[in-house]
Amino acid sequence: MKRKLDDTVASCNLIGVLNSDYPGQTCSIARALELVGERWTMLVVRDVLLGVRRFDDLQADLGIARNVLAARLDKLVAAGVLERRPYSEHPPRHEYVLTEKGLDLWPVVHGLMTWGDRHAPAAGGPPTVVEHRGCGGAVDAHGRCERCGEALSARSVQALAGPGASPRHPLRRAPGGAAPLAG
> Dihedral angle at the C-alpha atoms of 176, 76, 102, 30, nearest 10 degrees?
-130
Binding residue for Zn ion, selected from 64, 135, 160, 178, defined by CB under 5 A:
135
Taking the least distance from each CB to Zn ion, the nearer of 32 and 148 is 148
DSSP secondary structure string for all residues of 60-126: HHH---HHHHHHHHHHHHHTTSEEEEEEETTTTEEEEEE-HHHHTTHHHHHHHHHHHHHHS--TTS-
Can residue 158 be called a binding residue for Zn ion (CB under 5 A)? no
The residues that bridge with 96 in the sheet, in sequence order, are: 84
Can residue 147 be called a binding residue for Zn ion (CB under 5 A)? yes
Taking the least distance from each CB to Zn ion, the nearer of 27 and 148 is 148
Can residue 54 be called a binding residue for Zn ion (CB under 5 A)? no
Yes or no: say if 14 and 37 are a contact pair by the CB < 8 Å rule. no
Binding range to Zn ion, per CB under 5 A, among 57-65, 107-115, 128-136, 156-164: 128-136
Taking the least distance from each CB to Zn ion, the nearer of 133 and 169 is 133
Binding residue for Zn ion, selected from 79, 145, 154, 157, defined by CB under 5 A:
145
Q: How far is CA 105 from CA 63, 82, 120, in A?
A: 23, 11, 21
x/- map, 84-103, Zn ion, by CB under 5 A? --------------------
**Which residues in this chain contact Zn ion in the complex, by CB under 5 A?**
132, 135, 137, 145, 147-148
